[in-house]
Structure 1
Amino acid sequence: MSRVVVIGAGISGLASAALLARDGHDVTVLEGRPSVGGRAGSWEHRGFRFDLGPSWYLMPEVFDHFYKLLGTSADEQLKLVTLDPGYRVLFENAESIDIVADPEENLEIFERIEPGSRERMQKYLASALDTYEMAKRRFLYTSFADLRPLLRRDVISRLPKLARLLLQPLSTLAAKTVTDPRLRQILGFPAVFLGSSPFITPSMYHLMSHLDLDDGVLYPMGGFITLIDSIEKLARAEGVTVVTDARVTRILVTDDRKPRTTGVEYVDAAGKAHTIDADIVVSAADLHHTETTMLPRELQTYPQEYWDKRTPGPGALLLYLGVEGELPQLEHHNLLFTEEWKEGFDAIFGENPSIPNPASLYVCKPSGIDPSVAPDGFENVFVLVPIPSDPTIGRGEIDGDGDPRVEAAADHVIAQIANWAGIPDLADRIVVRRTMGPGDFATDLNSWSGTLLGPAHTLKQSALFRAGNISKRVDGLYYAGGSTIPGIGLPMCLISAEILVKRLRGDVSTEPMPEPLRPTVAAGAAAPAGAGTTGTAGARVARGGVASAASPAATATEPTTGATAAASTSDAPAEMPAERS
């Protein structure tokens, strides 16, 4: 049984720990903060409970697959409800649009606004679905350690389309599909989910429109903290030890010719230093922070020079508001889009970043469907304003006590929501107010450049071009989470945990793993080289339920190393090997 230390108890850290423990490893998770969840944490104050970050439940089959790997299901773990409308869009100087749960009705909405658009939208959404299914089958569940499994007929036959989608920005594809500026914005806004702009995000990501226009939007009752709680409980049930208030300061490495991990050092809440031994270290913390502060320069796969050439996703101004009385003007999810759409993104991602004013922003009102998040007679309101990822903008605080620039921007945002949604007394009805800014993400979550989500999904930072999940300099050091493959968002973080297991197994397949997860090595057998043993495999298989066949690649005797990965992709651009595996 290999000893594994996972750094960080966000969703990717907890998910990685759960799967690794089920695969037979002895796993300890170290979390620097007092509670788990990371960006998906929770805050309670005066009877309100706020999800601190993620609030859109998309790609439901990814969540369900993850739970089934652990022998359960999303239906067993969560109480999911369908939102209808899925979301409301408020425009600066135009009538609002509701996107509903019925895909056919959404096509009719587009047709009413822009006669003749229905047929083009049908083709757009058919392409989105095809691209989405292709992504899940070939590009999301792989480490890209070996590109040969991608040379399948379904990929090769789509190469012209894939090349076009990679080289053309999402904004261009949206403009070719519809002419109404409001409809173009609806097709382009999913880029924000990817920590990017529709003007720099490849149109490959038009696949996101399948999720909200066709697939619908769900919500887990009790909020997203119920998702975190369920994964933590499942991890503990698999034998994982979770230690909070344990801030990792250094990854311990041997002085051998080929360095390898031996454990980590961490500091507890009292400031006392500790050492914990490990055969494998998995960092689910921010990758920039891990590489540049926990390892010496000569052992960094992604040193500062790498990050200097990369594009961070946006920062954010976050508001958590407790509001007296009802707010029927708002739906569960609300998007506010300005007329100066492109200028707003240029302000965030341009050469001279600034906070857009007015800003396109997002408002969530979960209390409309979930009474557990606010006291009777009050509403729970969460606001996210994309802004530059610049920690110098400042930090937020409770009751307006944050840094002046953050609080002034928050005042503007509250006034904007009041004006656009027709709630003139909104500011007077706020009884709880908390703000967060890029400085909070940099300080509290060690987020690179204070970004809200991680590296933006530009062409150079997507799929096989994104940072890989293994150190090329230190044996036994792996990565998970939004900084690495496959990318940003809760579903991607769950997939990153699965890719980690595949990497340790030497599994270079592209498909999701069979359900439930079964250890590769039987009890008492030799472990894959470098991956540790799985001495409790027999017991875990019995507890996992019905057996299923492992993927062919899962029987490999040795994980694909950085060297062999580079060799198998020798025709790739010169910069790729250092960015990938």
Structure 2
Amino acid sequence: MSKRLVSNPGLPVVEKPSVAVIGSGFSGLSAAAYLAKAGCSVNIYEKNAETGGRARQLISNGYTFDMGPSWYWMPEVFENFFNEFGYSAADYYELEQLDPGFTIVFGDQDVLRIPANYQALEELFESIEPGSAKQLALFLDEAAYKYHTGMNKLVQQPGLSLLEFADWDLVRGVFKLQVFTSFSKHVRRFFKDQRLITLMEFPVLFLGAMPEETPALYSLMNYAGLKLGTWYPKGGFGKVIEGMQKVCEAQGVIFNHDSAVTRLNVVNGKVTALNTKGSTTNYEGVIAAADYHHVEEKLIDRGLRNYGEAYWNKRVMAPSSLIFYLGVTRKIEKLGHHTLFFDADLKVHAREIYKEPQWPTKPLFYVCCPSASDDSVAPAGHENLFILMPLAPGIEDTEALREEYFEMIMQRLENYTGVAIRTVLDYKKSYCVNDFKSDYNSFKGNAYGLANTLMQTAHLKPSIKNNKIRNLFYAGQLTVPGPGVPPSIISGKVSAQLLIKYLNTK
């Protein structure tokens, strides 16, 4: 065996094996950084011109739009990533806690602003439903256990065997984790007022399932949002991507943009080379941090795939989205950084995403106005708006439908803000199912990956390891631990550890 390096204590690898990472989103950047730290020679292949995947930025007319993620929760996951390479998040961007963390609009005169201060949050709950402050404390105590157990143990597992869960702490706490309890029933044990129920259930809509079908385990998201706070990286999520890219480059990672991978060459159960339109390069291992379905369907032969089309078509996907990036030539005083419009029936919209896929009757939607917190993302006196409406994946997507829903959403937004926003636009771009497919090879144009249902949790998700190709591993939102930015960062680390282990034992 070749000489080993000990640049990553506990995970030495053969000297400078050459490995490839497909995709430069959060999971790809994470995987590349850990592989390079362990002593690998790493090349990232990105089909688009910019680093970041769904977290790319769109810069136009003086505006800087985050194209995808906009909620910065679980700040310790980001901090832990940078710490492992000798840095801090503060070396790359300034982090600000938002107060209010976010706003929920139930009607023009029925608005909840969620304070950063916990005592103020308790007072808000108590003003809505007497006795609910005590219930909130009990709810979040349970959620804290799930969060710390989930983030420190569950999400760090590769999901390859049930034996991973033979940890005594997990066995002892299995009932406290409430993997087999409905999130919807769990919330209703604590709260009766529909506004409080909606507040607790809203993250589930983006996790990707009806609250009735999501495990109560995911109340850990409530702990993250309500107790740990909602944060914002000044300059937008592109600054986080930029920081992670710099970490990678400091480890020697090479970036290849505009380099869509067209084929993985496999010999005797191992990837030997990677093809792009312009070249073929030999590698000793590959991490596919691109769309899992695309990699299997387009880059390897049928007999080498973990899953066929029948499997994928039975998966419950998280939503796609209709997104609008808007530049507005005046300030909109009534909009904070994050505003959720729940002035419609959550159950109806969720059913039209998951049960009876269709364009929604009366959609819920979300507005991010980062210029309310950050002067750098819009010209002076202007606003930067990101508007997102969750939508069933795989649905018909036409310009006419986009415009129909733009008018529907804007009417409600203008009624709430008292500003005729459509008359003061100097930039507008839409993004929907067809764009997710085109830009990210996204299965059914999904935006968030797989729904976090009970039957798609942990080892029941698509395997992080190709079972027929020994040196091919997957990372990102279609495998463990699941959708969201922090899970994607963790996914990259876990897949890198598996490839390093392979390289050590081959």
Which band: TM-score by shorter chain? over 0.9
What is the correspondence of 1:355-374 to structure 2 with a 5 Å cutoff? 355-374=359-378
Report the equivalent of 1:183.
196
Report the equivalent of 2:83.
68
Q: How far apart in 1 are the matches of 2:417 and 2:66? A: 25
Matched, 1:232 2:245: yes
Q: How far apart in 2 are the matches of 1:424 and 1:50? A: 21
Q: How far apart in 1 are the matches of 2:80 and 2:64? A: 28
- Indicate the SS of the match to 2:325: strand
Matched, 1:312 2:317: yes
Matched, 1:323 2:320: no
Matched, 1:206 2:219: yes
Q: How far apart in 2 are the matches of 1:167 and 1:146? A: 19
The Cα of 1:305 is off from its aligned counterpart by 1.8
Q: Letter of the aligned partner of 1:334 in structure 2?
A: T
The Cα of 1:316 is off from its aligned counterpart by 0.4
Q: Letter of the aligned partner of 1:264 in structure 2?
A: L
Report the equivalent of 2:266.
253
Q: How far apart in 1 are the matches of 2:314 and 2:388? A: 27
Matched, 1:334 2:354: no
Report the equivalent of 2:235.
222
What is the correspondence of 1:526-537 to structure 2 with a 5 Å cutoff? 528-530=504-506
Q: How far apart in 2 are the matches of 1:130 and 1:94? A: 36
Report the equivalent of 1:376.
380
Report the equivalent of 1:292.
297
Mean alpha-carbon deviation: is it higher for 301-310 or for 327-336? 301-310
Q: Letter of the aligned partner of 1:319 in structure 2?
A: F
- Indicate the SS of the match to 1:316: strand
The Cα of 1:192 is off from its aligned counterpart by 2.8
- Indicate the SS of the match to 2:103: strand
State the Cα deviation string for residues 480-501 of structure 1 (Å, max 9, x = none). 1111111111111110111113
State the Cα deviation string for residues 46-97 of structure 1 (Å, max 9, x = none). 1111000000111111111111111111122221011000001101365100
State the Cα deviation string for residues 362-388 of structure 1 (Å, max 9, x = none). 110000111110001100010110011
Percent sequence identity over aligned pairs: 33
State the Cα deviation string for residues 179-223 of structure 1 (Å, max 9, x = none). 111110000011133233323211110111111111111100011
Q: Letter of the aligned partner of 2:469 in structure 1?
A: V
- Indicate the SS of the match to 1:392: coil
- Residue of structure 2 aligned with 1:457, choices 438, 443, 452: 452
Question: Would you say the 8 A contact 1:415–1:427 is kept in 2?
Answer: no
- Residue of structure 2 aligned with 1:440, choices 431, 435, 439: 435
- Indicate the SS of the match to 1:58: coil
The Cα of 1:449 is off from its aligned counterpart by 0.7
Mean alpha-carbon deviation: is it higher for 439-448 or for 171-180? 171-180
Q: How far apart in 2 are the matches of 1:13 and 1:151? A: 29
Report the equivalent of 2:24.
9
Matched, 1:156 2:152: no
Q: Letter of the aligned partner of 2:29 in structure 1?
A: L
State the Cα deviation string for residues 88-119 of structure 1 (Å, max 9, x = none). 11013651000011112111111110011111
Q: Letter of the aligned partner of 1:329 in structure 2?
A: K
State the Cα deviation string for residues 204-253 of structure 1 (Å, max 9, x = none). 10111111111111100011000011111111111111011111111110
Q: How far apart in 2 are the matches of 1:345 and 1:505? A: 41
State the Cα deviation string for residues 21-65 of structure 1 (Å, max 9, x = none). 111001101111111111000001111110000001111111111
Question: Would you say the 8 A contact 1:43–1:52 is kept in 2?
Answer: yes
Q: How far apart in 1 are the matches of 2:108 and 2:348? A: 16
State the Cα deviation string for residues 295-334 of structure 1 (Å, max 9, x = none). 1110000221210211111110001011121111111011
Report the equivalent of 1:98.
113
Q: How far apart in 1 are the matches of 2:160 and 2:170? A: 17
Report the equivalent of 1:79.
94
- Residue of structure 1 aligned with 2:153, choices 135, 138, 154: 138
Question: Would you say the 8 A contact 1:2–1:25 is kept in 2?
Answer: yes
- Indicate the SS of the match to 1:416: helix
Matched, 1:410 2:406: yes
Question: Would you say the 8 A contact 1:263–1:281 is kept in 2?
Answer: no
Report the equivalent of 1:479.
474
Report the equivalent of 2:358.
354
Q: Letter of the aligned partner of 2:407 in structure 1?
A: D
Report the equivalent of 1:503.
498
Q: How far apart in 1 are the matches of 2:288 and 2:460? A: 20
The Cα of 1:435 is off from its aligned counterpart by 0.5
Report the equivalent of 1:110.
125
Q: How far apart in 2 are the matches of 1:379 and 1:459? A: 40
Aligned length: 491
Mean alpha-carbon deviation: is it higher for 37-46 or for 453-462? 453-462
- Indicate the SS of the match to 2:427: strand
Q: Letter of the aligned partner of 1:27 in structure 2?
A: V
State the Cα deviation string for residues 435-471 of structure 1 (Å, max 9, x = none). 0111110111110111111111111112221112110
Report the equivalent of 1:280.
285
- Indicate the SS of the match to 1:355: coil
The Cα of 1:424 is off from its aligned counterpart by 4.1
Question: Would you say the 8 A contact 1:391–1:437 is kept in 2?
Answer: no
Report the equivalent of 2:7.
none
Give the 3 Å change call, closer, same or farther, for CA 94–176 of structure 1 in structure 2: farther
Q: Letter of the aligned partner of 1:358 in structure 2?
A: K
Question: Would you say the 8 A contact 2:332–2:417 is kept in 1?
Answer: no
Question: Would you say the 8 A contact 1:338–1:358 is kept in 2?
Answer: no
State the Cα deviation string for residues 507-532 of structure 1 (Å, max 9, x = none). 9xxxxxxxxxxxxxxxxxxx6113xx
Q: How far apart in 1 are the matches of 2:430 and 2:41? A: 39
- Indicate the SS of the match to 2:153: helix
Q: CA RMSD in A?
A: 1.5
Tell me, which stretches of 5 or more residues in structure 2 are unaligned?
1-15
Q: How far apart in 1 are the matches of 2:231 and 2:324? A: 22
Q: How far apart in 2 are the matches of 1:239 and 1:281? A: 17
Q: Letter of the aligned partner of 2:122 in structure 1?
A: L
Question: Would you say the 8 A contact 1:332–1:368 is kept in 2?
Answer: yes
Q: Letter of the aligned partner of 1:274 in structure 2?
A: S
Q: Letter of the aligned partner of 1:377 in structure 2?
A: G
